[in-house]
Structure 1
Amino acid sequence: MQPDLTLTIALIAGSGIVAQWLAWRLRWPSIVLMMGAGLLLGPIAGLALGAPVLDPQASFQQYLRPMIALAVAVILFEGGITLNFRELRDASAPVRRMVFLGFPLGWALTAVALHYVAGLAWDISFMIGALLTTTGPTVVLPLLRQAKLPPRIASVLKWEGIVNDPIGALCAVFMFEAIRQTALGHDWVAAAGFLTMGALIGGLMGFAFGLGLSQSFRRGLVPEPMKAPLVLAAVLVCFAAAEQLASETGLVAVAIFGLVVANSRLASIEEMRRFKEGIAAILVASVFVVLAADLSPDDLAALGPQHFAFIAIFMLIVRPLSVALATFKSGLDLKETTFIGVVGPRGVVAAAAAGHLAASLTAVGRVDAAILAPLVFMTIFISVFGCGFAVAPLAKVLGLSQDGPERLLIVGANPWSLGLADALKAHDIPVTIADIGWRRLRQARLNGHDVYYGEVLSETADWRLEPARFAALLAATHNDAYNALVCVEYAPELGRSRVFQLSGFDGKTEGNVTDEDPRAIVYTARGRTLIRKGRGYEGLARDWWQGWTFRATRLTESYTLEDCLAEPDSAGDIVLAQLPNGKLHLLGSGKPLPDTPGTLLIRFAPPEANA
């Protein structure tokens, strides 16, 4: 491989992942920084230096389009595998309205605006409209965490993105095939026939691959370590096979493939999703950098006033109007409808598909499709950038923001965990207590705590409990294995550093217990151990009944952590700390104690320490 091509590939992957990491650190939408990296290395560098630092077309030449097509196929499959129809059936009325009414309304209104404002042909308008009507979870979810929204609004925005993403992509692909057939000289009747045939071929191919893969997994024909890699290989084979049978049907096939796998009730579906998310993260980063870098200054200059006028109308009129019509009398009040109508950032699938479809249409003579990529990219950039900086202030203005300290999720209602929840509530730290026992939750309800009655490992909990609204999780049941399972399930959402469980052994009576203790469940299959020396459920419960209670201490400039620990009444176990900025720090083995003035320490202490 040539050194310059090696450097190009490394630059694409490196800049994309760095952009995603920076977005995570800055709490910005990653799509903005990924597109910014591509524009900076491509057209902006070309204007400033006379030649772009990254020129994908020159580097990859005829291999660029196939590479992007394969990456888009994996991204579309990853979108399809998140769509579970059982969850959609259980969703709230506003969610169903946004899917079944909001999408077609938004599609039609967007196409009308594209035709009459941007001056595009009707067929191109409907294809772009299908892409721009989708909001992706990769851009919506960071915004939801940033704004701290109520569960109902967060649920509508989240599920709209998850469900409409693959549907919008499929509609855009169908429109693309119709346009391509007419561009090749076929009339609309013939184009409809080709479109139907292509849809059937792609759909049957995707269904066959999905069914075959599901059956092979159920019958144990594939070993566990090979399942996720086999899925990736199957996606690529499915895409290529569909393309060989009928051109441009591969995207339909992989989307249907993902839908079939997602609804097959496979025991290993979560592992496959996480593997695909990791692969998709690299591919999304690479595709965005490549597509943005491939835009030339002439492409950006082709955007005229009419295109920016369309973007303004699309964001300020089309989106709010379609949301208002779709959710009318659905239970949302005016403030909630207004917020959902304003917050609609376009997503990853729209950008990835736009670059691929635009190149395919220009190749068959539709030169007016050249505006597709820059227009979609600019719409995405402005919508994500605008929503990213407006979502938190808008939520505050409308009175929807749940500002305040970070919320803790406690799994397991027992006297010790209820005592901890009471101590946190006394200092205005919000807590949600989850348990499968209605009677065990009785005292939590009487004490005014937010409760979740149900199994936290169920599919229902995924959308009713809304894990994204919690800063950390503490699994505090009597069952060490169940605690570990809960932590493993929620670690991908909250982060492994934010899921804690009680120790399987008690550090008070059996010596300090650490995350690497050979007696404990292996650390890769559990959460972090709560309390620095590790305390088990039985030991904590015994101490509780012997009169131990929770005590709060606040550090100051004159009263430091060292002073606190030096006092005679400092006996006990420090469970967690709340920093002055409201952030929660559950304290586990090997985790340093915070020493910032204003920090609140919650300690589980014996009776003599409270005398």
Structure 2
Amino acid sequence: MEETALVIALVGVLGIGAQWVAWRTGWPAIVLMLAAGFLAGPVLGIFDPELTFGEMLEPMVAIGVALILFEGGLSLDFRELRHAGGGVLRLATVGVIVGWFLGSVAGNWIAGLAWPVAILFGGILIVTGPTVVIPLLRQSSIQARPASILKWEAIVNDPTGALCAVIAYEYFRLSADGATVFEVVPPLLIAAALAGLIGYAAAVVIAWSFPRGLIPEYLKVPVLLTTVIAVFVLSNLIEHEAGLVAVTVMGVALANMNVSSLRSIHPFKQNIAVLLVSGIFILLSSSLNFSDLEFFNWRFAGFLVALLFVVRPATVLISLLGSSVPWNERLLLAWIAPRGIVLVAISGLFALRLTELGFEGGSVLIGLSFAVVVVTIVAHGFTIDLVARLLKVKGNTRPGLLIVGSTPWSIDLALQMQALKTPVTVVDSSWQRLASARQKGLPYYHGEILNEATEHNLDLSPFQTLVAATDNEAYNALVCNEFAYEIGRDSVYQLGEAGDDDDRHAIPLSLRGRALFEAGFGVAEVNELGKKGWVIRKTKLTEEFTFEDALEKLPKDGHLLMLLRDTGQMRFFTHAARPEPRAGDTVISYSPPQPKTAEEAAAKRSGKRGGGNPQPA
């Protein structure tokens, strides 16, 4: 009992630790998790999951994969298909057929697998998997359309690949008794369709019951997770691996039913996904034995090369012939196809079944599937940024600033940040208030930032900092609290509390964003200072021109707003934090107008137009 608990703790530490190291270093998290599990398992022998969990390991991994697929389905919105739908449809239909055929041929001709084993493994190779694709997309910055195609393909093709493997296995099992393809395939497709209907029915029940208060708030997450597991198990009773189809359909259906109640559980389900991905990768990689790799030879190495440079590129390029997807995006899709948990889990399951049926080569699938996972994850994980940059499908890598509220102060801030090459967008629900942003050529979004539709109409991925600067401080706090999880609690800011002492604590600090300025300027104060001519200034620090020199140049009563690093990272001066300046930083300040020169004062008295205030460069 204590040993099992210790293994569970170690799996958590290794998985989350690998995720943290990936966050600090920028390395692919999946690669680090595979390495951590491999070291803990076969290399150092710290623990053996199969010995610890026994027969429970397979159902644990299966349920974990089901929950991951469901969570991935919840992230799929049909509105994304307006730009990526053609590519997704082709990869989910033509791509499946072409990929299955080419993978089977490569497995037989190059790897030397028997035809039944090669055909079954070719079906499994269709999967890419959200467990590896989504973390790669999160760490890299790829343009919206190819990223959407990769995400949709990964989630849709996971159950499709499992279904292809089931079809191949059932055919070879029943063909010994004289069964034909037409006797085997239709019942399996009917079973898959029935599983999809079960998943859809479960989504309808959830979407109907949650908004009507039939489920209390504290039970919504437990009910949802229990329903997913029940749907998965029930569908698997109908047909092996049909549960993956059911939970994927359930997730996609719920995502497109506009159930507002689900917004509150998004942080929890994303946390669950991170924990499951980390844990399952550690368990699977640590359960690998060196005996599984003893069959590895030059033919398997050639198969891996063919999979990377022939099978995947040919599958994508053939599938997208005549489509509207640009060629540079096609080439990126042709390269990126990492495999993950589902490939290993399904291969392990069918390796045992093929061996029982007497097919030669079934036992090598476990080692070969791990080799495919390791090679594709390493190859694609370490090259996705480089390939995206060479093909010019790289998104904006410089951290962006999202400003909520179009006011004179926020427009001034946006202009200064745009001049410093920082991606910036101003959001406001009033078209009239956005007039200034439009006139000055600033990127803007007209809509309610808290509306659920905004998540799909406004791409939030480029923005790593949010500043709420509307005239309503309570609304600013609401915006910061809403986006704290997605952007980061330490990266959402609002203008500080204004008013008398009775009003200062009207909004709990736990709900507010971090207060801008060390003085905690409020909305009314900033607007009043703006009327007096206060402006936002920027000053570049060098080895010769230090932060102390910049402070001396700052007009009296001026206030520091932020430091902008050379990398584009923004570090704000707040009542709770004071960033450390260094050479290369740009100091952004809010200060009163500089005293006018005698010539400017004389020009003003004579009615002539004076020059503008010089700003430090």
Over 3 Å counting, the alpha-carbon distance change for 1:478 and 1:108 in structure 2 is farther
Match of 2:466, SS? strand
1:487-506 pair list within 5 angstroms: 487-503=480-496, 505-506=497-498
Q: Which moved more, 1:560-569 or 1:595-604?
A: 560-569
Q: What displacement does 1:420 show?
A: 0.6
Which of 263, 270, 274 is 2:267 aligned to? 274
Q: Deviations over 1:57-108 (max 9, x none)?
A: 1222222222222222222222222223344346565555555655554444
1:590-609 pair list within 5 angstroms: 590-608=576-594
CA distance in 2 between counterparts of 1:98 and 1:183 reads 26
CA distance in 2 between counterparts of 1:38 and 1:142 reads 18
Equivalent residue, structure 1, for 2:505 = 518
Which of 467, 470, 473 is 2:463 aligned to? 470
Please state if 1:256 is matched with 2:249: yes
CA distance in 2 between counterparts of 1:227 and 1:95 reads 32
The answer on whether the counterparts of 1:95 and 1:156 sit within 8 Å (CA) in structure 2 is: no
CA distance in 1 between counterparts of 2:273 and 2:360 reads 31
Which of 55, 58, 65 is 1:62 aligned to? 55
Q: Deviations over 1:449-497 (max 9, x none)?
A: 3333444445554355322222212222223344344334433332222
Q: Which moved more, 1:356-365 or 1:299-308?
A: 356-365
Counterpart of 1:583, as a letter, is: Q
Match of 1:218, SS? coil
1:289-308 pair list within 5 angstroms: 289-308=282-301
Equivalent residue, structure 1, for 2:217 = 224
Equivalent residue, structure 2, for 1:113 = 106
Over 3 Å counting, the alpha-carbon distance change for 1:572 and 1:54 in structure 2 is same
Equivalent residue, structure 2, for 1:172 = 161
Match of 1:607, SS? coil
CA distance in 1 between counterparts of 2:482 and 2:450 reads 7
Q: What displacement does 1:128 show?
A: 3.9
Equivalent residue, structure 2, for 1:48 = none
Match of 2:364, SS? helix
The answer on whether the counterparts of 1:475 and 1:500 sit within 8 Å (CA) in structure 2 is: yes
Q: Which moved more, 1:140-149 or 1:284-293?
A: 140-149
Over 3 Å counting, the alpha-carbon distance change for 1:27 and 1:126 in structure 2 is farther
Return structure 1 stretches of 4+ with deviation > 6 angstroms: none
CA distance in 2 between counterparts of 1:369 and 1:198 reads 26
The answer on whether the counterparts of 2:28 and 2:382 sit within 8 Å (CA) in structure 1 is: no
Q: What displacement does 1:310 show?
A: 2.4
Equivalent residue, structure 1, for 2:308 = 315
Q: What displacement does 1:269 show?
A: 2.0
Which of 185, 189, 198 is 2:191 aligned to? 198
Counterpart of 1:592, as a letter, is: R
Counterpart of 1:260, as a letter, is: A
Please state if 1:537 is matched with 2:523: yes
Q: Deviations over 1:276-328 (max 9, x none)?
A: 22122212211111111111112123233222222222222333333334444
Over 3 Å counting, the alpha-carbon distance change for 1:568 and 1:17 in structure 2 is closer
Over 3 Å counting, the alpha-carbon distance change for 1:211 and 1:466 in structure 2 is same
Which of 149, 158, 162 is 2:147 aligned to? 158
Counterpart of 1:479, as a letter, is: N
Match of 2:574, SS? coil
Q: Give the number of aligned pairs.
A: 593
Equivalent residue, structure 1, for 2:30 = 31
Which of 565, 568, 577 is 2:563 aligned to? 577
The answer on whether the counterparts of 2:84 and 2:149 sit within 8 Å (CA) in structure 1 is: no
Taking structure 1 as the reference length, the TM-score comes to 0.86
Equivalent residue, structure 1, for 2:610 = none
Equivalent residue, structure 2, for 1:5 = 4
Which of 411, 425, 449 is 1:432 aligned to? 425
1:17-416 pair list within 5 angstroms: 17-45=16-44, 52-89=45-82, 91=84, 94=87, 98=91, 102=95, 104-121=97-114, 124-125=117-118, 127-141=120-134, 143-144=136-137, 147-149=140-142, 154-182=143-171, 184-185=173-174, 187-188=179-180, 189-192=182-185, 194-196=187-189, 198-244=191-237, 246-328=239-321, 330-356=323-349, 358=351, 362=355, 368-401=361-394, 405-416=398-409
Larger radius of gyration between Structure 1 and Structure 2 = 2
The answer on whether the counterparts of 1:20 and 1:30 sit within 8 Å (CA) in structure 2 is: yes
**Runs of 5+ unmatched residues, structure 2:** 596-612
Match of 1:268, SS? helix
Taking structure 2 as the reference length, the TM-score comes to 0.85
The answer on whether the counterparts of 1:319 and 1:341 sit within 8 Å (CA) in structure 2 is: yes
Match of 1:192, SS? helix
Q: Which moved more, 1:61-70 or 1:368-377?
A: 368-377
Q: What displacement does 1:415 show?
A: 1.5
Q: What displacement does 1:578 show?
A: 0.8
Q: Which moved more, 1:291-300 or 1:556-565?
A: 556-565
Counterpart of 2:370, as a letter, is: F
Say what the alpha-carbon RMSD is for the aligned residues: 3.2
CA distance in 2 between counterparts of 1:511 and 1:95 reads 57
**Runs of 5+ unmatched residues, structure 1:** 46-51
Equivalent residue, structure 1, for 2:603 = none
